[in-house]
Amino acid sequence: MTASKSSRARQARAQRARADAARNGTAVKVGAAVEAGGRSRTVATRGGAVDRRGSRGTGLTQEAVAEAPSTATAPLWFQLVTFGLALAGLGVSIYLTIAHFTESALLGCSESGAINCTKVTTSPQSYVFGIPVAVLGLAFYLTAVALMSPWAWRSARREIHLLRLASLVVGIGFVLYLVYAELFIIGAICLYCTSVHAITFLLFGLTVFAAAAWGLPKGQRG
């Protein structure tokens, strides 16, 4: 009888111990997967403590936050200014191209003295590799209009922003050559050409400023 009571008492104590263990969370559960920031991690609970090495509440790991892009989009007014300048450059380039192929005089431009549009547009320097400079300017500004559009500025594709910057670097180099040719080889200045040069300088400065102020989008990782 005594042995039976002692056995029942031990069983009762064991059951109470198991119940206390369950309540206190001392059971170890290893291998539970937790999704945070698109990554699964293994969590082990011991004595009620959960190892979660991510940021609490946000569901993002500290590593993911650190890798987040720090760039911002240029403001709308900036996008519209550059887009308007590109359209103006395109308009002048179209007019110069038409005047070149129709061999017509440029309106409001002198044909004598230091300002002589005809002397500039008919000079040997008005061709580069056999292509009229006016046509090259037209092609450049067709590209510039697309790259300076608000849609291109808001694009998250890094290649578009790099192409914009690279095209302006090439454009400003070409403009420097043309200015040198006008001043030191031809000895005359074309007002329409100068307006295109000035627009290119402005777009170059604004594009470099945008890259420095707001940065370039991070490349998307595969």
Do 25 and 84 reside in the same domain of the chain?
Answer: no
Report the distance separating Cα 185 and Cα 110, nearest Å: 19
Last residue of a domain, one of 51, 68, 85: 68
* Residue 101 located in a structural domain: yes
Mean local confidence (pLDDT), 51-67: 45
Domain count, the chain: 2
Confidence (pLDDT) at 100:
92
Do 26 and 91 reside in the same domain of the chain?
Answer: no
- Find out whether 55 and 61 touch, Cβ atoms under 8 Å: yes
* Residue 169 located in a structural domain: yes
Kindly write down the DSSP assignment for every residue of 170-222, as one continuous string. HHHHHHHHHHHIIIIII--B-HHHHHHHHHHHHHHHHHHHHHHHH--PPPPP-
Q: Over the stretch 131-170, which tens digit does the pLDDT of each residue have?
A: 999 999 999 999 999 999 999 999 999 999 999 999 999 9
What's the CATH number where 203 sits?
1.20.1440.130
Other Cβ atoms less than 10 A from the Cβ of 137: the count is 26
Q: Over the stretch 185-201, which tens digit does the pLDDT of each residue have?
A: 999 999 999 999 999 99
Percent of the chain at pLDDT > 70 equals: 68
β-strand pairing of 29-36 with 39-46: antiparallel
* Residue 193 located in a structural domain: yes
Do 105 and 56 reside in the same domain of the chain?
Answer: no
* Residue 13 located in a structural domain: no
Residue 29: pLDDT band by 50, 70, 90 thresholds? very low
Do 47 and 154 reside in the same domain of the chain?
Answer: no
Do 119 and 193 reside in the same domain of the chain?
Answer: yes
* Residue 117 located in a structural domain: yes
Do 129 and 188 reside in the same domain of the chain?
Answer: yes
- Find out whether 198 and 179 touch, Cβ atoms under 8 Å: no
Report the distance separating Cα 84 and Cα 110, nearest Å: 27
* Residue 10 located in a structural domain: no
Confidence (pLDDT) at 42:
40
Residue 23: pLDDT band by 50, 70, 90 thresholds? low
Do 33 and 129 reside in the same domain of the chain?
Answer: no
Residue type, 56: R
* Residue 26 located in a structural domain: yes
Residue type, 128: V
pTM beyond 0.85, yes or no: no
Q: Over the stretch 116-126, which tens digit does the pLDDT of each residue have?
A: 998 999 999 99
Kindly write down the DSSP assignment for every residue of 6-23, as one continuous string. HHHHHHHHHHHHHHHHHH
Do 80 and 120 reside in the same domain of the chain?
Answer: yes
Do 44 and 99 reside in the same domain of the chain?
Answer: no
* Residue 32 located in a structural domain: yes
Q: For 47-165, list the strands marked E by DSSP.
A: 49-50, 127-128, 131-132
Do 160 and 188 reside in the same domain of the chain?
Answer: yes
Which residue range is the domain that position 52 belongs to? 21-68
Do 81 and 51 reside in the same domain of the chain?
Answer: no
Last residue of a domain, one of 68, 90, 125: 68
Do 54 and 140 reside in the same domain of the chain?
Answer: no
